[in-house]
Amino acid sequence: MKVPQRILTLPLSTQCVNKPYIPITSTPHQSSRNLHIHAQTNPSPPGGGGAAATRRQKRLNLSSPRVHTPPATRPPNPSSFLSSLDENVSTLAEWFGNKKNVLCLTGAGLSTESGLPDYRGHAGSYHGGYKPMLHDEFMRSEMKRKKFWARNMVGWKNFSSSEPNPGHYALAALEETGTIGVSFPDAPHFDRDDGVDESLHCNGHRRLSIITQNVDTLHHQAGSKHVCELHGQTRRAKCMTCGYTTSRDDFQNWLADVNTDWLREARAASSQSTLRPDGDADIDSSYSSFCVPNCPHCRTGFFKPDVVFFGDNVPRSRVDKCFGAVAASDGLLVVGSSLAVYSSFRFVLEADKRGIPIAVLNVGETRAERMGLGVLKVESPIGATLEGVLGILSSDCVEARLG
């Protein structure tokens, strides 16, 4: 099959030279949209000074909390792109080219093939009117906490039993072969809670392959080793008073022990429950009698999943670690994310500012296209596409070794 030529590449002298990340605040965004251009590249937004510049600066002055932003339109069904699967696989495989330090950023669209719903995809929960729990609501309202934990208790069995899909396994294999993953200088303040054995960090350097917005731990279950869970993970619960942590499975048992009657009544009142993103279930029941156990360590604090809720901020140490990985990369691959939340989109902006090539594998428009960034956009079923890319790149690797 002839690989379509979709990318315009400027001379080497104009390409980026990777430099270590140095945290900078209030730096205007510099677009590198001329470096890698999709066949349907969006026109550049108006520049210049005066009112136009002010409007552009306001648009780029994005707040750092994870913000709830429902989609304007419903994206198409990923299966509608199966007819162009071979072409899409070839296009994405070509993008990898001779890159040696590709970093991957994944979102909820990757896990939908595991049976977990996303927010903004074709069957996303936002299209049904779902509104996620906000950080301040959870922290301030006992009734909100009861509602959250009641729904989460009902949905936990299905959520926690989900398994990695072909997309997760393909990324793990790409990491194993060295196709994705970057090494970058470590720093004392970088986040250490990334589930990676510290022995994997050697000579003062870190290794990172995947930054994920997902809280389902499916990357780790698939075998990926160097993963940063940007928004935390649901398999831990943390006391908001003393910081004591426990496994989500243990906390599930505590919830079940003190809510036997409520659970029986809730199941009788609801013929079925709908699983929502982040593990909670949509059920028709009252929550006033639901009991949320206090922390057994301090005896007064309440538990929250060890995740970043909407309206909360990702820890700075985690953000800086991810920026360090972006700075060391020579390509950023976005998988299954609309990039609607700034907590992840900032890394795309950073890559664009540095002239690092960006590819987006996602069905539906993303924030990158809306802002006119120069990205290679591939709309295709994620699992099958990543499996195909793995097949091509693995064959190329074998051929190279055989000479």
CA distance 18 to 273: 49
The DSSP output letter for 209 is -
β-pairing, 102-106 vs 210-212, is parallel
CA distance 18 to 16: 6
Q: Is 298 helix (H, G, I), strand (E, B) or coil?
A: coil
CA distance 24 to 216: 31
β-pairing, 245-247 vs 281-282, is unpaired
CA distance 59 to 61: 6
Active site residues: 231
**Residue that has been written with the tokens 């990898």 in this structure:** 96
Q: Token pair of 248, please?
A: 């989500």
- Sequence-separated (6 or more) residues with CB below 8 Å from residue 378: 88, 91, 92, 359, 360, 361, 362, 385
CB-CB contact of 365 with 69 (8 Å): no
- Sequence-separated (6 or more) residues with CB below 8 Å from residue 401: none
Question: Residue 61 carries which side chain, given as an amino acid letter?
Answer: N
Q: Which of 316, 42, 52 is nearest to 191 (CA)?
A: 316
